[in-house]
Amino acid sequence: MLVVACIKQVPDTTQVQIDPVTNTLVREGIPFIVNPYDAHALEEALRLKDRFGFRVAALSMGPPNAEATLKKALALGVDEAILLSDRVFGGADTLATSRVLSEAIGRLNLREKVGIVICGKQTIDGDTAQVGPGIATRLGYTQLTLVDRIEKLDPLLGRITVRRKLEGRHETVEAPLPVLLTVVRELNRPRYPTVPMRLESAEATVQVWSNRELQLDQEGIGLKGSPTWVSRIFSPERQKGEIVGDGAADPAGAADLLVDKLLSRDLLVV
């Protein structure tokens, strides 16, 4: 059985800055990382490999530089890594993204039966949480979102029991394979690559599939196949609280000013 982890390379949004003049994202110098939720998806796939001996494939759609992300997945122990990259895939919204990813999964399934696809619950740059469910619906797989624990997996019976993390409660459900899971951070703690694994993976190559391989009708992919488009990215206007002192350069001085502020409002009992 093949387990597929879908991983997206995203800009590290905690380091994103806004250009005060143009009010848009400053892209230069922002490091790219694996979408944090996808690191947990990958880890869970590797744990299934450790426990059951399944093969694991990592799949990513993105520009050529996303190869770096897949290299890391190889270093962690995935058996194959596939980058879906082609100009005609560019500008895709979630509908078009799930079209390409599900086609690729369909192709892998012809070689080896896919039992489980694992996605992050959402990305930190697009944040839509639509891609996983989109893949499940297209492939007709059972969809289980917000999974924080795999309780039981019976590959022979082809059934899985998972716990889903909902508002203020958990829900346990059982479902038949093949399934698509979208996972939350509580699921596991991702491993780090060891030095020997890193060295070994230096040899391994990332397969790149373009639309020559997938042969998708251009109407359904990329910009053309995308029913939504982002017309503007901007920084929301807000009234800001007063900034007290220079806390970075002079913490003690800022602390004095803050103490005064709280005293003047009778909020400090000294």
List of residues contacting ligand FAD (CB under 6 A): 6-8, 35, 37-38, 41, 59-62, 92-95, 97, 101, 119-120, 122-123, 125-132, 167, 228, 230, 233
CB 182 within 8 A of CB 121: yes
CB 51 within 8 A of CB 154: no
Q: Which residue lies nearer to another protein by CB, 166 or 202?
A: 166
Q: Would you count residue 208 as binding another protein (CB under 8 A)?
A: no
Q: Would you count residue 129 as binding another protein (CB under 8 A)?
A: yes
Q: Would you count residue 16 as binding another protein (CB under 8 A)?
A: yes
Q: Which residue lies nearer to ligand FAD by CB, 87 or 265?
A: 87
Provide the minimum distance between the beta carbon of 82 and ligand FAD in the complex, in angstroms, as a whole number: 10
Q: Where are the beta strands (DSSP E) in 51-198?
A: 55-61, 80-84, 114-120, 142-154, 159-166, 169-176, 179-183
Single-letter amino acid, residue 1: M
Which residues 6+ apart lie within 8 Å of 136 measured at CB? 117, 142, 143, 179, 180
Q: Would you count residue 109 as binding another protein (CB under 8 A)?
A: no
Look up residue 226 and give its two tokens. Answer: 């995308």
Provide the minimum distance between the beta carbon of 156 and ligand FAD in the complex, in angstroms, as a whole number: 27
Q: Would you count residue 154 as binding another protein (CB under 8 A)?
A: no
2 binds, among another protein, ligand FAD, none (CB under 5 to 8 A by kind): none
Q: Which residue lies nearer to another protein by CB, 113 or 170?
A: 170
Q: Is 22 helix (H, G, I), strand (E, B) or coil?
A: coil
25 binds, among another protein, ligand FAD, none (CB under 5 to 8 A by kind): another protein
In the stretch 236-265, what mask flags binding to another protein with x, by CB under 8 A? Answer: x-xxxxxxxxxxx--xx-xxx-xx-xx--x
The closest of 142, 71, 65, 131 to 101, measured between CA atoms, is 131
Which residues 6+ apart lie within 8 Å of 12 measured at CB? 30, 31, 32, 33
Q: Which residue lies nearer to ligand FAD by CB, 142 or 200?
A: 142
Q: Which residue lies nearer to ligand FAD by CB, 54 or 89?
A: 89
Q: Cα separation of 26 and 6, whole Å?
A: 27
